[in-house]
């Protein structure tokens, strides 16, 4: 993932792909990684195209990184529209096509990574900032606003299996109100914290069963009501998706065996 943290000529930008999201129903709670720390071994403030002498602002913890820049150059720094090709250990790596200002990504652009992940959207002061789309090698994609390189605001994540989340992101994570639409027709509408269903929400399953109440760690936890597919209604306190009231019992999204009911 392009992870950029640049505010001055002494800062730098780093063109590294984001880790692939998981293939399960929920993505990992850490969306992109944090940018490298300035001053790490092998880091430098600028890196020059050896042919033209034009430089871009750079930060990487790896040695043996080089660039070629095809575009404008002012005061020794990449400027305007162009193509920036990164190489690592002499092999082609990330490729950026778009706008630069004073050696930093600025405006609109597109990056294709060595693993075929790609980002297309807006940049500001060397970081993803504004609207953009990040597509992962496995086919998952995030569409929405970025701030300081991270998803922030009302966005959408689509999994390769067809599941879709539409809602709030805060500092890389699904936190706030949102809707998770499952490929089988089920859905959850409610609160998320750090990528998990947590707080108040309603889950509807593809068989018509529904639970409306409190959630924690992706399962029913707390007070809530389930209307089962066969018409039975269970209201009370749920623990890890399990409910029991004397001889009556029910589960919400977990197996009867995991609750000790069978």
- Look at residue 33 and tell me whether its pLDDT is greater than 80: no
135, exposed or middle or buried, with CB in 10 Å at 0-12, 13-18, 19+?
middle
Q: How many whole angstroms separate alpha carbon 239 and alpha carbon 163?
A: 26
pLDDT in tens, 138-161: 999 999 999 988 889 999 999 999
Global pTM value: 0.79
Q: What is the pLDDT of residue 200?
A: 98
- Look at residue 31 and tell me whether its pLDDT is greater than 60: no
Q: What is the pLDDT of residue 37?
A: 36
The average pLDDT across 22-42 equals 34
Between 17 and 181, residue with greater pLDDT: 181
Q: What is the pLDDT of residue 123?
A: 93
Q: Are 36 and 14 in contact (CB under 8 A)?
A: yes
| Radius of gyration in angstroms for the set of CA atoms belonging to the chain, rounded to a whole number | 23
Q: What is the pLDDT of residue 212?
A: 98
Q: How many whole angstroms separate alpha carbon 210 and alpha carbon 186?
A: 9
Q: How many whole angstroms separate alpha carbon 5 and alpha carbon 9?
A: 11
pLDDT band at 192 (very low <50, low <70, confident <90, very high): very high
- Look at residue 193 and tell me whether its pLDDT is greater than 70: yes
Mean pLDDT, rounded, of the chain: 83
Listed by start position, the domains of the chain span 42-114, 130-197, 207-261
Q: How many whole angstroms separate alpha carbon 170 and alpha carbon 2?
A: 18
Residues 6 or more apart in contact with residue 203 via CB below 8 angstroms: 186, 187, 188, 197, 210, 211, 215, 220, 252, 253
Q: What is the pLDDT of residue 162?
A: 94
Q: What is the pLDDT of residue 59?
A: 54
Locate 144 and state its tokens. Answer: 């929405």
The residues with which 13 forms a beta bridge, in sequence order, are: 4
pLDDT band at 62 (very low <50, low <70, confident <90, very high): low
pLDDT in tens, 73-88: 999 999 999 999 999 8
pLDDT in tens, 206-252: 999 999 999 999 999 999 999 999 999 999 999 999 999 999 999 99
Q: What is the pLDDT of residue 149?
A: 81
DSSP state of 27: -
- Look at residue 14 and tell me whether its pLDDT is greater than 60: no
Please count the CA atoms within 13 angstroms of the CA of 131 that sit on its side-chain side. Answer: 1
User: Cα-flanking dihedrals φ and ψ of residue 259, to 5°?
Assistant: -90, -10
Q: What is the pLDDT of residue 159?
A: 94
In angstroms, what CA-CA distances link 137 with 15, 98, 107, 146, 254? 16, 21, 25, 20, 31
Q: What is the pLDDT of residue 127?
A: 85
């Amino acid at each position: 993932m392009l992870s950029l943290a640049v505010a001055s000529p002494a800062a730098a930008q780093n063109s590294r792909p984001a880790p692939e999201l998981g293939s399960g129903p929920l993505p990992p709670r850490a969306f992109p990684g944090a940018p490298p720390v300035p001053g790490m071994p092998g880091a430098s403030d600028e890196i020059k195209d050896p042919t033209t002498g034009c430089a871009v602002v750079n930060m990487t913890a790896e040695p043996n990184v080089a660039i070629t820049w095809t575009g404008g150059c002012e005061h020794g720094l990449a400027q305007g529209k162009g193509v920036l090709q990164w190489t690592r250990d002499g092999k082609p790596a990330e490729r950026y096509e778009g706008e630069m200002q004073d050696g930093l990504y600025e405006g609109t652009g597109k990056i294709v990574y060595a693993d075929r992940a790609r980002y297309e959207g807006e940049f500001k002061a060397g970081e993803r900032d504004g609207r953009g789309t990040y597509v992962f090698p496995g086919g998952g994609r995030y569409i929405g606003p970025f701030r300081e390189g991270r998803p922030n605001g009302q966005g959408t994540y689509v999994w390769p299996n067809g599941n879709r989340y539409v809602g709030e992101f805060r500092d890389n994570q699904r936190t706030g109100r949102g809707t998770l639409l499952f490929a089988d027709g089920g859905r959850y509408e409610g609160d998320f914290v750090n990528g998990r269903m947590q707080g108040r929400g309603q889950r509807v399953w593809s068989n018509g069963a529904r639970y409306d109440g409190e959630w924690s760690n992706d399962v029913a936890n707390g007070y809530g009501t389930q209307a089962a597919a066969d018409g039975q209604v269970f209201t009370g306190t749920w623990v890890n998706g399990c409910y029991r009231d004397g001889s009556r019992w029910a589960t919400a999204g977990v197996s009867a065996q995991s609750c000790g009911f069978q």
